[in-house]
């Protein structure tokens, strides 16, 4: 069975808890369960992780070199980390960048562009936790079609 890493960056573990509701009302535990159900339905083994540490996220991206695909919500590191982007560029497998909110409609102008999108096969944003599920289904299709990152 194909394997995909689903990596989440800083503060993702607090989804559903922010007062603004920017990242939805569903907590991270529920999102985690939702993703595993979607992966099972799509025929993927999912390695789902979250870290608040940039170095650990980079290590995990490098570890994904042995996987069939990478799904990543690098959260705030998407906008700041050239190192995460560089690690992603070393992958030959498909990469899907996911954001819970529509980063292009956010008020802060720096959120309109991400370094991680420069290393991604595709991006999904603005669909909340549903975007995570859709990304898993899309990843399964990319893997089945033999698609590499490029």
| pLDDT tens for the 150 residues of the chain, in order | 999 999 999 988 776 656 565 566 778 899 999 999 999 999 999 999 999 999 999 999 999 999 999 999 999 899 999 999 999 999 999 999 999 877 776 566 666 689 999 999 999 999 988 999 999 999 999 999 886 655
From the list 15, 23, 32, 132, the catalytic residue is 23
Q: Is 104 a known active-site residue? A: no
> 3-state class of 98 per DSSP?
strand
Looking from the CA of 100 toward its CB, the CA atoms found within 13 Å total: 23
Which CATH number is 3-74+90-107+116-136 given?
3.40.50.9100
From the list 5, 15, 32, 99, the catalytic residue is 99
Asked if residue 98 lies in contact with residue 73, where contact means CB atoms within 8 angstroms, the answer is yes
**According to the model, what pLDDT value does residue 148 have?**
63
Pairwise CA distance, residues 128 & 26, whole Å:
9
* Strand pairing category for 122-125 and 45-50: unpaired
Give the bridge partners for 17, in sequence order: none
Nearest alpha-carbon partner for 54 in 30, 25, 37, 76: 76
Q: Is 79 a known active-site residue? A: no
Pairwise CA distance, residues 85 & 137, whole Å:
23
Burial class from Cβ neighbours inside 10 Å (0-12, 13-18, 19+) for residue 56 reads: middle
Structure tokens at 11: 């503060």
Pairwise CA distance, residues 123 & 19, whole Å:
26
CA 86 to chain centre: 16
**According to the model, what pLDDT value does residue 146 have?**
82
Which residues contact residue 68 at a Cβ distance below 8 angstroms, ignoring those fewer than 6 apart? 2, 3, 4, 44, 93, 143
**According to the model, what pLDDT value does residue 67 have?**
97
């Amino acid at each position: 069975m194909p394997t995909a890493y689903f990596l989440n960056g800083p503060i993702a573990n607090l989804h559903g808890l922010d007062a603004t509701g920017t990242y939805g009302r569903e907590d991270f535990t529920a999102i985690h369960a939702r993703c595993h159900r979607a992966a099972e339905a799509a025929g993927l083994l999912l390695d789902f992780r979250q870290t608040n540490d940039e170095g650990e996220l980079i290590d995990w991206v490098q570890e994904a070199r042995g996987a069939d695909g990478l799904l990543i919500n690098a959260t705030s590191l998407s906008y700041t980390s050239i190192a995460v982007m560089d690690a992603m560029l070393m992958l030959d497998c498909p990469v899907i960048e996911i954001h819970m909110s529509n980063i292009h409609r956010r008020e802060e102008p720096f959120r309109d562009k991400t370094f991680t999108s420069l290393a991604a096969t595709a991006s999904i944003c603005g669909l909340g936790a549903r975007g995570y599920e859709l990304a898993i289904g899309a990843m399964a299709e990319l893997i089945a079609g033999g698609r590499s990152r490029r």
